[in-house]
Amino acid sequence: MTDQTASLASFTSEAATKKLRKRHRAERRFQMYGIAAILFALAFLVFLFASIFSQGWTAFLQTSIKLPVDFSQEVINPSGNPDAEDEIFQANYVKLAREALYKQLGVDPNDRKARRAANELLSRGVDVQLRDMVLRDPSIIGTTEDVWLLASDNADALMKGSIDRETPSERRQVSDEQIAWIDQLVDAGNMKKRFNTGLFVNGASSNPETAGLGVALIGSFFMMLTVVLLAVPLGVCAALYLEEYAPKGKIADTIEVNINNLAAVPSIVFGLLGLAVFINFFGLPRSASLVGGLVLTLMTLPTIIITTRAAIRAVPPSIREAALGVGASKMQLIGHHVLPLSLPGILTGTIIGLVQALGETAPLLMIGMVAFVVDYPTTPLEPATGLPVQIYMWASSAERGFVERTAGATMVLLAFLIVMNSLAVYLRNRFERKW
């Protein structure tokens, strides 16, 4: 009997050891699956960022040509009246730029073919550059100034390596003669790639080299300002009422379920709502930043309410009981204890909601924020566009120069999102308390 007991114990111990080893192997496999999933996601993330950066970093550089431009008074202001702004505004600045280019390259002004080829080296936006210079400082009329003028899209692409010099001339957008001129200008130090400030200050343009994010940045600022001023106080107040004042019952449960459902509604539905209510019913102007801000406010409210309620609920009941025990009123309890202690969670949820709103495109398309806006909007009621919409518009353009503009604008948007998410993490770590 003793031998049977010992044999049974040995068998049981061996079986338990096998099961334990099997469980440990399963745990190791599960850990490996988790690590593989993380590495797989990181690989895609690295690929995404590498793809965007490889295409977009060149958007922050723009090729320019240094030319001695003669601001001839006969062309700009033939009447001699410095107050004749219409005359100065409508002057033929393209002629001044082209004459300076012919002189720099040694092109015969009577050779029509050579002139046409030389003209293709300059951007079609040089007239705006020169006109703005004269309007800012009319004293340059009648003088000759060295001016860095934007090169054309094809010349810029050649300088950045997007056009292969080895491609046969019949299939290349830049002729051999133009390449020789470009090399001549580069060797003389009169053609180089410079930081592209126009990417951040220019408005919409049909020319890639003169297109910028200026209007989109201002439009996004107005929209985010509207969201902050409306969604944050409304969301926090609604969460406070539902968590601290609303009687528990079917009505409160129904409201909570609907708020959770609204957080999962596709953003384009909010765009349809904004189109029907704010534009068609209230008559607010299409493409206005205010309408975009109102639509994004509706979309962001559920997120802020849910995160604020979670932050308020995380405050320990002992804090409430202690405050009420020393005679604090309900308002004092909320203002002096609940809100300050739940502030990290509220700030985090608010910033996450703003980040989500900043990256939305579909609702803005529905309310018409795809307008071709050149001038800066000065109020939220003027036509504007947003960063995501500008990226969408550039991505749908056929010109090669807009490819790098699209990636560059995506990098700018990602920078904003990373900064805002980092701010949310910092604020949470800075003010969070452990209980």
Instruction: Give pLDDT, residue 6.
Output: 57
**In the chain, what are the domain boundaries?**
2-57, 61-201, 214-431
Mean pLDDT in residue range 70-92:
84
- What are the distances in angstroms from CA 336 to CA 272, 273, 306, 434? 41, 38, 22, 18
| Reported confidence tier of residue 246, pLDDT bands at 50, 70, 90 | confident
Rounded-to-integer distance, Cα 270 and Cα 265, Å: 8
- State pLDDT tens for residues 195-242: 999 999 888 888 888 899 999 999 999 999 999 999 999 999 999 998
Instruction: Give pLDDT, residue 320.
Output: 82
Percent of the chain with pLDDT over 90: 37
148 burial type by CB count under 10 A (0-12 exposed, 13-18 middle, 19+ buried): middle
Instruction: Give pLDDT, residue 347.
Output: 86
In 3-state terms, what secondary structure has residue 295?
Answer: helix
pLDDT at 69 over 60: yes
Mean pLDDT in residue range 420-430:
81
pLDDT at 168 over 60: yes
Residue type, 359: G
Half-sphere exposure of 337 (CA within 13 A, CB side): 20
- State pLDDT tens for residues 306-320: 999 998 888 888 888
pLDDT at 416 over 80: yes
DSSP H/E element including 386: none
Region label for 283, one of left (φ > 0), alpha (ψ between -120 and 50) or beta (otherwise): left
- State pLDDT tens for residues 6-43: 555 565 677 778 888 888 888 999 999 999 999 999 99
| Other residues' Cβ atoms within 10 Å of the Cβ of residue 69 | 24
DSSP 8-state class, residue 138? G
214-431 fold: MetI-like fold (1.10.3720)
Contacts (Cβ under 8 Å, ≥6 apart) of 144: 68, 69, 70, 71
Closest to 347 measured CA to CA, from 435, 227, 431: 431
- What are the distances in angstroms from CA 25 to CA 19, 31, 92, 181, 412? 10, 10, 80, 69, 46
Q: Do residues 427 and 347 make contact, with C-beta atoms less than 8 angstroms apart?
A: yes
Complete edge-to-edge strand list for the sheet that includes strand 191-195: 144-150, 61-70, 191-195
The greatest distance separating any two alpha carbons of the chain, rounded to the nearest whole angstrom, comes to 127
Q: Do residues 149 and 124 make contact, with C-beta atoms less than 8 angstroms apart?
A: no
Q: Residue 62: what are its φ and ψ, rounded to 5°?
A: -140, 130
Mean pLDDT in residue range 315-334:
84
Tokens of 55: 């295409």
| Reported confidence tier of residue 335, pLDDT bands at 50, 70, 90 | confident
The pTM of this model reads 0.85
Q: Which long-range contacts (CB under 8 A, 24 or more apart) does 73-78 make?
A: 73/141, 73/142, 76/134, 76/141, 77/138, 77/141
Instruction: Give pLDDT, residue 291.
Output: 93
Rounded-to-integer distance, Cα 287 and Cα 295, Å: 12
| Reported confidence tier of residue 44, pLDDT bands at 50, 70, 90 | very high
DSSP 8-state class, residue 124? T
